[in-house]
């Protein structure tokens, strides 16, 4: 059975970044708000955990995401874009980006929304106080 692409409104509604963020204490969206926000792109800060640890666990669970921006990947430094929009260094290191493609399914979005809060919670419990 072939996947049916989601339109932009359905993608954003399924992802429901505000509902997702309400399940992760202290998290927030970065970037534009309202109509200026890209419907297929969600960048969030999840304080208290490094994005690299979250990304590794998400990958083990079959969820693809990224950290920061592509232009900062090779430097090992926090994204200058995130710093420019007001994120401090710790927030930039805790930034996750989810970009949805034409063939991203609703089920894939649902899995990511279900898994991310549990991953962040588990990693926070493991982090030194």
Which pLDDT score, from 0 to 100, does residue 63 have? 92
Instruction: Give the closest residue to 97 by CA, choosing from 6, 29, 13, 34.
Output: 29
Catalytic residue annotation? 71
pLDDT band at 115 (very low <50, low <70, confident <90, very high): very high
**Average of per-residue pLDDT values in the chain:** 80
pLDDT band at 102 (very low <50, low <70, confident <90, very high): confident
- Given 3-state DSSP classes, what are the helix, strand and coil percentages for the chain, each rounded to the nearest 5? 45, 10, 45
In sequence order, which residues have a C-beta less than 8 Å from that of residue 91 and are 6 or more positions away?
Answer: 45, 47, 82
pLDDT at 66 over 80: yes
- pTM for the predicted model, two decimal places: 0.80
């Amino acid at each position: 059975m072939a996947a049916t692409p989601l339109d932009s409104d359905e993608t954003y509604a399924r992802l429901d970044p505000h509902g997702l963020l309400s399940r992760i204490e202290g998290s927030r969206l970065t970037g534009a708000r309202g109509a200026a926000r890209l419907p297929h792109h969600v960048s969030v800060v999840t304080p208290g955990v490094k994005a690299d640890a979250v990304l590794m666990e998400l990958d083990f669970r079959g969820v693809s995401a990224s950290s920061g921006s592509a232009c900062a990947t090779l430097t090992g430094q926090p994204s200058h874009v995130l710093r420019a929009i007001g994120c401090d260094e710790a927030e930039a290191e805790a930034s996750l980006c989810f970009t949805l493609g034409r063939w991203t399914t609703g089920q894939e979005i649902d899995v990511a929304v279900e898994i991310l809060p549990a991953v962040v919670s588990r990693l926070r419990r493991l982090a030194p106080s």
